Amino acid sequence: MSRIGKQPITIPEKTEVTISEGVLTVKGPLGELTREIKPEVEVKIEGGVVTTTPAIDSVFARSLWGTYSSHIQNMVNGVNKPFEKKLIVEGVGFKSNVNGKDLVMSLGFSHDVIMSIPEDLTVTAEKNVITVSGIDKERVGSFTADIRVNKKPEPYKGKGIRYIDEVVRRKQGKKTA
């Protein structure tokens, strides 16, 4: 039994949740999100509450049960309050800024790293902090991970791009004799 799947999801005011032909749609003050729901999981919307149950008794249906419940909860939360992730750019000469629809980063390479910002996300770069926000939790997390991959933090000086709450394990440098 899924602990997350068993819990009902309450729909806040100004938010509308509908399901038709296997597609769940959540509309709210900040936008609209859609997700395809597999037939193994049954989604019911009754009186401001969304509940999920496995339609058939199989391992696959039970594994999707809690997953879809979490997805629906994230969709309902996202259309009411945007998700936000912050990254720190750390290192001498490392910097980032937003030019139009591009994120331009100087990361110690011979060239600048330019990433185009997706339409549904908002990216700001102030000093050494990059903030990514949007209504879709998956897109925010995926884009921040793509940014971080460009220069992961190294263990000796801690230079690179890291999440604001990430702790980089530091190693001891060379010892002089």
Q: Domain of 32: which CATH number?
A: 3.90.930.12
Confidence class of residue 1 from pLDDT cuts 50, 70 and 90?
low
Average pLDDT, the chain: 92
Q: Is residue 168 in a domain? A: no
Work out the average pLDDT over 12-38. 93
Domain identity same for 53 and 101 = no
Domain identity same for 138 and 117 = yes
Domain identity same for 103 and 150 = yes
Q: What percent of the chain has a predicted confidence (pLDDT) above 90?
A: 83
User: The whole model's pTM is what?
Assistant: 0.89
Domain identity same for 90 and 59 = no
Asked whether the beta carbons of 158 and 174 are under 8 A apart, the reply is no
Work out the average pLDDT over 76-101. 94
Q: Is residue 175 in a domain? A: no
Domain identity same for 101 and 124 = yes
Q: Is residue 31 in a domain? A: yes
Q: Is residue 170 in a domain? A: no
Per-residue model confidence as pLDDT tens digits over 151-166? 999 999 889 999 999 9
